[in-house]
Amino acid sequence: MKKKLLSLVLVGAMSTAMLAGCGNSSAPAADSQAPAADAQTPAADTQTPAADTSSSDNAAGGEQTLTVWCWDPAFNMNAMYEAEKVYQKDHPDFKLNVIETPWEDVQTKITTAATSGDLSTLPDILLMQDNAFQKNVISFPNAFVDLTGSGVNYSDFAAGKTAYSVIDGKNMGVPFDNGAVVGCYRSDILEQAGLTVDDFTDITWDQYIENGKKVLDATGKPLISMQAGECDLIMMMLQSAGSSLFNEDGTANIVNNDTLKIVMETYKALKDSGVLVEVNSWDEYVGSFISGDVAGTINGCWTMASIQTAEDQSGKWALTNMPSLVGATGATNYSNNGGSSWAVTANCQNTELAFDFLASTFAGSTELYDNILPSGALATWAPAGESDAYAVPNDFFGGDAVSAKIVEFSTKVPSNITGVYYYEARDAVATAITNYINGSDIATELDTAEKTVNFNMGK
């Protein structure tokens, strides 16, 4: 069992699909930073060997220096540089050595270091995809430091976000960017059907379908598009009711998951009604709502960056929460897709400094979150949403203070269990929903999906 787990982790580490989406094509956008990370690979390859060794960096820079791995200069790296400035106000000798490291490289380096037993190649702090957090800590428990007593006030963070980095009751990460799900709509298209964004606020999926039929009849446009063969929307629906593909003990929760059955039935109803249209690629998905071929989209809040590239549509968009499942216990209008958190590695030479830095910045500074907001970095740290910067109206979205609204959404997101085999389970469910839509029996497909996951787990 242990050898099979290690083999799967090694295979997963070499895959560029280990992001928030189900498959390779949608994975980059599910973490808004991934496209930039792909472009950074050459830069990461040109780093000198010393740049990969945090202990030597600390020796050269003194005990007030921390080495950080993260990707995307304009987003994550910029956030770290801004955090450095904030912390230096009270700690003038403090320095960060931020090394641009694409996520897939971070995953590979973690796996290599942990399996070789040589953690000296790891930095003091690294950024980790939320959906991979439990997988890495469970697989390599000796590679990371417990942050439960670090001074970070986790009650200030959205519970659903924090849960991604909680393993065996211990806080192993500091939450960073926001992946709260938002519903974004072309208000001018809705108006043609006699609807407004208010008609899509705090509604159920049944009401969403009825509204979608009105839009389809009036304009000929579907409400939403999704990439065929992917399960982003499935997972968002599932988490919105606080359900997961795994139980607390790590066993698969698919065959007897009543909420998952409702989710699959709802997705099929969306497609059968014409309210949802499937496309063949991620580019087609983004292009469908930017071009106005569909009236909106539902996804992590990072999708707003793509929407706002259509500058001629400023003022024609509106934002609200997502629909809730009908008949599902614990159903809400809130979910999450994408995001990442900071981890402190066991190679950190000054954990007290790392703890204080993270607690004072990403878990303690409204100034920091105000400074990185223009880059699109929305907080899940609740106090940030109360600042004046988050209350500024967004003209693109009809003058709504969408930043504060999204932080509020994030505080209401139910938690879910990812575990070690999260990506394998998503893939299995993606296949199940495709076959179900094409006429297969739902019970048969769920049974096959669970057997596939159990096989991967060596059971």
Residue 379 belongs to some domain of the structure: yes
Is there a domain that residue 396 lies in?
Answer: no
Q: Kindly compute the dihedral angle of the four CA atoms of residues 172, 353, 65, 349, in this order, to the nearest 10 degrees.
A: -70
109, 113, 147, 165, 272 from 346: Cα distances, Å = 14, 11, 11, 16, 51
β-bridge partners, 51: none
* 412 part of a folded domain: no
Residue 171 sits in a domain whose CATH number is 3.40.190.10
The model's pTM is 0.82
Same domain, 315 and 450: yes
Report the domain count for the chain: 2
Pair (50, 151) in one structural domain: yes
Q: Quick one: which H or E segment has residue 58?
A: helix 54-61
Quick check: is 406 in a domain?
A: no
Query: How far from 158 is each of 8, 139, 174, 353, 443, CA to CA, in Å?
Result: 31, 25, 11, 25, 35
- CA 103, CA 26: separation in Å to the nearest integer? 15
According to the model, what pLDDT value does residue 17 have? Answer: 34
Residues 163, 59 within the same domain: yes
Do residues 428 and 383 both lie within one domain?
no
214 and 135 co-located in one domain:
no
Neighbours of 437 (CB within 10 A): 16
Residue 285 belongs to some domain of the structure: yes
Q: Are residues 279 and 164 in the same domain?
A: no
| 404: in domain | no
Rounded CA-CA distance 234/226 in Å is 10
Tell me which residue of 264, 263, 267, 260 sits closest to 209, measured CA to CA: 267
Whether 203 and 351 map to the same domain: the answer is no
Domain with 452, as residue range(s), is: 181-335+418-456
Reading the chain (459 residues) residue by residue, the pLDDT tens digits are 333 344 444 434 433 333 333 333 333 333 433 333 333 333 333 333 333 444 334 433 458 999 999 998 988 999 999 999 999 999 999 999 999 999 999 999 999 999 999 999 999 999 999 999 999 999 999 999 999 999 999 999 989 999 999 999 999 999 999 999 999 999 999 999 999 999 999 999 999 999 999 999 999 999 999 999 888 999 999 999 999 999 989 999 999 999 999 999 999 999 999 999 999 999 999 999 999 999 999 999 999 989 999 999 999 999 999 999 999 999 999 999 989 999 999 999 999 999 999 999 999 999 999 999 988 888 899 999 999 999 999 999 999 999 999 999 999 999 999 989 999 999 999 999 999 999 999 999 999 999 999 999 987
| The pLDDT of residue 62 | 54
| 160 plus 117 within the same structural domain | yes
392: in domain = no
Together in a domain, 325 and 369: no
Q: In whole angstroms, what is the distance from residue 109 CA to residue 293 CA?
A: 42
Any domain includes 400? no
Q: Are residues 110 and 200 in the same domain?
A: no
Q: Are 172 and 146 in contact (CB under 8 A)?
A: yes
> Do 227 and 281 reside in the same domain of the chain?
yes
- Predicted pLDDT of residue 60: 37
Q: Chain-centre distance of CA 255, in angstroms?
A: 25
Tell me, yes or no, whether 292 and 430 share the same domain.
yes
User: What type of residue sits at position 313?
Assistant: Q
Taken in order 397, 399, 404, 405, the sign of the CA dihedral is negative
